[in-house]
Amino acid sequence: MAQEPIHPGSVSAPVPDSHPEQTGPPDESLVERARQGDLEAFDLLMQRHQERIYQVIYHMISHHEDARDLTQETFITAYHALERFRGDAAFGTWLYRIAVNKTLNFLEKKRPERSGPSLNDLDARAEHDPDLVALITEQTPRRDVSLAELRQKLNEAMMKLSEKHRLVVVMHEVQGMPHEEIARILDCSVGTVRSRLFYARQQLQAYLSDYL
């Protein structure tokens, strides 16, 4: 396995922002315009949400091409269903529901085929993240574990989780969403989200005990 260099003393770069600030018109007015066939408004909505939608799908299936296709399908479905969007929840929440449904359907059909992730596009700034550097240098000085190996083990452990547990881990731990928002997206109680999160962390802790 290729060893990636770690730079423990290097200056850290900011963590990628998972909640980009919203500029321009609010989602509601863009949705209204898109309902009337304004594709430019829908393009703005896509620009605003595409990264987070892509990420949740990607972290669930660990495959870039499939994640791109599913993101595309999510936006096309959303555009066709705009008339049914009543505005009870935020547009982003509604979009997440579509993405989650599509992802779960996809995983249901493709379950036995893909067991391993194809992770090949780690942001270069990861090497400089102080938390990760500390984690690796503190915990594994003798094991000589590399970032790539750690990443692979982490993804293997993630793929061992059931889909519903992986989903809450991705949304809460990776994307930083609050429990309440996850509960709205998954249409379940906050207690269920917390329970799944707790169980998933326990499972991951067990799988990754050598690296923690």
Partner 1 sequence: METPSGEFEKLRRLLALKRYERPPAGCLDDMRQAVLARLRQEENRQAASPAEPRTPWWLVIREVLPPRPLWAGLVGVGVSALVIGALWQAEQLQLPGGLEGAGLAPVEVPAARPTWPAEAPPALPVLAQPGGLLAATNLPLSPARETVPGGMPGGLFAPPSLEVQRASSAPPAVQTVPWR
Judged by the rule CB under 8 A, the positions of this chain that interact with partner 1 are 15-16, 18, 37, 39, 42-43, 46-47, 50-51, 54-55, 58-59, 64, 67-68, 71-72, 75-77, 79-81, 97-98, 100-102, 104-105, 119, 121-123, 125-126, 129, 131-132, 134-135, 139, 147, 150-151, 154-155, 158, 169-170, 173-174, 186-187, 191, 194-195, 197-198, 201, 204-205, 208, 211-212
Rounded CA separation 54/99 (Å): 9
Query: For the chain, first and last CA: distance in Å?
Result: 20
Residue type (1 letter), 159: M
Shortest distance in whole angstroms from residue 9 CB to partner 1: 18
Rounded CA separation 29/32 (Å): 5
Rounded CA separation 164/136 (Å): 29
Q: Which is nearer to partner 1, 111 or 125 (CB)?
A: 125
Q: Which is nearer to partner 1, 28 or 38 (CB)?
A: 38
Residue with tokens 């009870």: 88
Q: Which is nearer to partner 1, 21 or 108 (CB)?
A: 108
Rounded CA separation 54/42 (Å): 16
Shortest distance in whole angstroms from residue 159 CB to partner 1: 12
Q: Which is nearer to partner 1, 19 or 21 (CB)?
A: 19
Residue 135: is it exposed, middle or buried by C-beta count within 10 angstroms (0-12/13-18/19+)? middle
Shortest distance in whole angstroms from residue 123 CB to partner 1: 4
**Can you say whether the dihedral through the CA atoms of 170, 172, 177, 179 is positive or negative?**
positive
Shortest distance in whole angstroms from residue 115 CB to partner 1: 18
